[in-house]
A and B are shown apart, each in its own frame.
Chain A
Amino acid sequence: MDIPELLQPFALASQTRFGELTVEVAPGNLLEACRVLKHQLGFERVSTITAVDRYPLSPRFEVVYHLHSVKSRQRIRIKTRVDEDAELDSVTSVWRGANWYEREVFDLFGVRFANHPDLRRIMMPDDWTGHPLRKDYPVEGYK
């Protein structure tokens, strides 16, 4: 699958491996790119949103969006890189289903999402300190 023309202005980089298309966009362009993806390219659902911690690289986090179109049976992976102290636009206004996934990324990685309707921890207890899926968080937890 080639990168759709409408997405080209947003793409910083793109590659297809294992038949999966990955497009990287700048964090500032993410929301706009997602609107195009949903309304013009027909990706009507979010499969999942997650993150990868590239510690100690900077920017530290890759936030990864797996999108899917039931109609055209296509999948696409959108990536954006943000740092610890940065805030990323929430895509809940585009897909309501992004809500819990963004909460999960916030809870387990500490990536904050701007304009999220309900940005609370989802897996860990509310009074938990730290974000367990960060690479500098020990597997056994802090003693």
Chain B
Amino acid sequence: MSSQDTLTLTGSADVASAGRRTMTLNMGPQHPSTHGVLRLVLELDGERVLSAKPDIGYLHTGIEKEFEAKTYQQGVTLTDRIDYLANLSNNLCYALAVEKLLGIEVPPKAVYTRVMLTELTRISSHLVWLGTHAIDLGAMSVFLYCFREREELLRIFEMFSGQRMMTSYFRIGGLALDLPRGWRQRVARFLDQMPSKIDEYEDLLTNNRIWKIRTQGIGIMPVEDMLDLGITGPMLRAAGIAYDIRKAEPYSGYDRFDFRVPTRTENDVYARYQVRIEEMRESVKIARQALEGMPEGPFTADAPKVVLPEREKMKTQMEALIYHFKIVTEGFRVPEGEVYQAIESPRGELGYYVVSDGTAKPYRVHVRGPSFGNLQALPAMVQGGLVSDVIACLGSMDFVLGDTDR
């Protein structure tokens, strides 16, 4: 170890000229810590990482192309499948983008439900991150705790949308269904319990010596590089930049909610852990405000050309029947134009760029997945570190390959 510690790392050529051989290691595409199909080509000198080259695209499914062949409302089902741990965030971002093009305002009940469920999504996504991150670094039990709470969240999502993961619950113009019977007690019970559960995770990790040794001082990189390379979200906030789109460019009524943007300045893997833990606590607060302030009223916008009519109206009113037929058979036309809508997903800036040519199908949909931007910075983050720290850095990025490859 000591000889390597004193070795100056200026690139593989120097190592080779010094008569040392480097090793090329394929990490992935089937490595447990890559949480999906990411391939990393590592060039190693002993345990030191000389360079890392991410190879992505294994999960590319052509979602952006598929959007062009579907009507706007059908496109919602594709958004779930992009970031499969933050389905509702993707539903929300797409719906907001198309609603902006259409000039539709959704009613308060839909706004509050969207905020509440998106925040629960953030908790659910952070739980998967925490559990897997901890298991990668050897803390087995945290995983079991996290998935216990996530299970309840998936059941809540199922209660609302009928689906655990592929929710498609936020539609263009509002929600797919009205709030289910008994939702309030179920969500309230979860929100009551969650803070003490987060304490449990913290008991296991925050002062855990091994956890601290594995995460503190690891994965530091200059803030300018982070911005330059496209990192957003909790990682940027752990580097001292209090940038959160929910505050900076409030969407979907986030300006009506009272919450803090947690930040740290250490900019290491541990700081990212602390930021996400605090974010879960803030999300509980936001979701509770949404639950308590949940307005009565309709759950879809008053836009008969876009939103399907109620079943009852369809049976009694000719007009409603015609609209229903038109929406189902042809979809609705969206005025020509283009928008870029960004939201704060659990991983950072999620953006949908939607271009309309005035027809019922999008001309182009581009998804700015936060994982794609974050992952690009990985080589800069792990260079010069140890192989075992690559695992810690990967975990701290919290990327989802579906979001990266689309």
Q: Which residue of A lies closest to B236 (CB)?
A: A70
Question: A96 touching B229 by the CB < 8 A rule?
Answer: yes
In the complex, which residues 96-143 of chain A have their Cβ closer than 8 Å to any Cβ of chain B? 96-97, 99-100, 108, 121-125, 132-133, 137, 139
CB distance from A24 to the nearest CB of B (A): 12
Question: B373 touching A97 by the CB < 8 A rule?
Answer: yes
Given A96-B229, A100-B372, CB of A122 within 8 Å of CB of B340 = no
Query: In the bound complex, what is the Cα–Cα distance between A45 and B57 (angstroms)?
Result: 23
- Interface residue from B337, B363, B372, B376 paired with A17 (Cβ < 8 Å): B337
Q: Is B333's beta carbon under 8 Å from chain A?
A: no
- Interface residue from B57, B68, B339, B342 paired with A47 (Cβ < 8 Å): B342
Interface of B is mostly: mixed
In the complex, which residues 56-80 of chain B have their Cβ closer than 8 Å to any Cβ of chain A? 56-57, 60, 62, 64-66, 68-69
Given A47-B351, A97-B228, CB of A77 within 8 Å of CB of B340 = yes
Q: Is A44's beta carbon under 8 Å from chain B?
A: yes
Q: Is B13's beta carbon under 8 Å from chain A?
A: no
How many chain B residues sit at the interface, stated as a range, is 35 or more
In the complex, which residues 37-65 of chain A have their Cβ closer than 8 Å to any Cβ of chain B? 44-48, 50, 52-53, 64
Question: A52 touching B355 by the CB < 8 A rule?
Answer: yes
- Interface residue from B229, B248, B349, B368 paired with A73 (Cβ < 8 Å): B248
For A17, A20, A96, A97, the residue with the greatest tally of chain B CB atoms inside 10 Å of its CB is A97
Question: B366 touching A123 by the CB < 8 A rule?
Answer: no
Question: A45 touching B228 by the CB < 8 A rule?
Answer: yes
Q: Is B241's beta carbon under 8 Å from chain A?
A: yes
Return chain B residues, CB-CB under 8 Å to A95: 228, 230
For A22, A70, A137, the residue with the greatest tally of chain B CB atoms inside 10 Å of its CB is A70
1/0 contact trace for B246-260 toward A, CB 8 Å? 001100000000000
Q: Is A81's beta carbon under 8 Å from chain B?
A: no
Question: B340 touching A75 by the CB < 8 A rule?
Answer: yes
CB distance from A13 to the nearest CB of B (A): 14
A-B contact pairs, 18 of them (CB 8 A): A18-B101, A18-B337, A44-B228, A47-B368, A50-B366, A64-B353, A66-B368, A73-B249, A75-B342, A95-B230, A96-B228, A97-B228, A97-B229, A97-B376, A100-B373, A108-B64, A121-B57, A122-B57
In the A-B complex, the 3 residue pairs with the closest CB atoms = A97-B230, A48-B368, A123-B60
